[in-house]
Structure 1
Amino acid sequence: MEQRIIHACGHEQGHYLTGFDSQQERKAKWLKTTTCRDCFVAEKRAEEAAAAAFSSAAISHLDLPPLAGTDRQISWASTIRTKRLAALTNPDSDANCYACLQVTDAKWWIDHRDLTDVDLMAAAAQATDIPGVTGVTA
């Protein structure tokens, strides 16, 4: 049964609640303490934008080469590269991300987005044939 709920943000939204009456009441009570879907999405987008701005500021001193790939790949890979390089170049990190700076293939960044920092640098060194950086340590 659909119920109109006024959320904590003040917006009203329809929710389809199922179950016994007591379950529906409990769910409706909980929903009143949360933000509506639109406010939730807007909040998450603002958090992502703030994180992206922070990452961009952290690597603004780097001269990054343009990425190669399709427009969609470049857009996604740019976000990944910015976030990962910001993590690698923070003051608390001893990582040398020179090899990562040389990788310009957008698909490579997308395919390697889930690697640890050490594995990412090793894969970048292998992809760019940089001597002196040895294999992956797990």
Structure 2
Amino acid sequence: MEQRIIHACGHEQGHYLTGFDSQQERKVKWLKTTSCRDCFVAEKRAEEAAAAALSNAAISHLDLPPLTGTDRQVSWASTIRTKRLAVLINSNSGVDCYACLQVTDAKWWIDRRDLTDVDLMAAAAQASEVQSATAVTASITDMHRTA
């Protein structure tokens, strides 16, 4: 049965409640102490924006190369990269994040977004080695073509 609840934020919202009467009463009591859906979403977006601003400030001194990928990948990966680099820089002040700074593939950041800091650093070092080896191979190939 749907009940109209006035939330702590003052907005009224309909909720479909099921269960025994005692369960519904308990749920109504709890819902009255929470924000409505719209206010909850607005609060979360504001928190995310504040966290993003802090992350951006923490890495503003870094000269990050642009990410490559589709527009959606780049947008998502930029958020991931900024957040992860800010955490690495703030929590491990002695850690060399150089390998992470060199990774420009948006898909790489998205695929590794759930790695621990240690695993992320190791994956970045490995990716950096592969990228360096590829660059050396390309330059050797170019030298052979011009010779």
Of 3-12 and 85-94, deviating more is: 85-94
RMSD of Structure 2 on Structure 1 (CA): 1.3
**Which residue of structure 2 aligns with residue 6 of structure 1?**
6
**Deviation at 1:27?**
1.1
Identical amino acids, percent of aligned pairs: 87
Letter in 2 for 1:115: L
TM-score, normalized by length of structure 1? 0.90
Greater helix content? 2
Detail structure 1 runs of 4+ shifted over 4 Å in the superposition. Answer: none
Equivalences for residues 37-116 of structure 1 within 5 A: 37-90=37-90, 92-116=92-116
**Deviation at 1:91?**
6.4
**Deviation at 1:23?**
1.6
Of 3-12 and 90-99, deviating more is: 90-99
1:42-83 deviations in Å (ceiling 9; x for gaps): 111110000000000000000000000000100000000000
Q: For the structure 1 residues 92 and 103, does the alpha-carbon distance in structure 2 shift closer, same or farther, using more than 3 Å as the test?
A: closer
1:3-28 deviations in Å (ceiling 9; x for gaps): 10000100000001111222211111
TM-score, normalized by length of structure 2? 0.85
**Deviation at 1:92?**
4.8
- Structure 1: tracts of 5 or more residues without a match: 131-138
- Structure 2: tracts of 5 or more residues without a match: 131-147
Q: Secondary structure at the match of 2:55?
A: helix
Q: For the structure 1 residues 92 and 126, does the alpha-carbon distance in structure 2 shift closer, same or farther, using more than 3 Å as the test?
A: closer
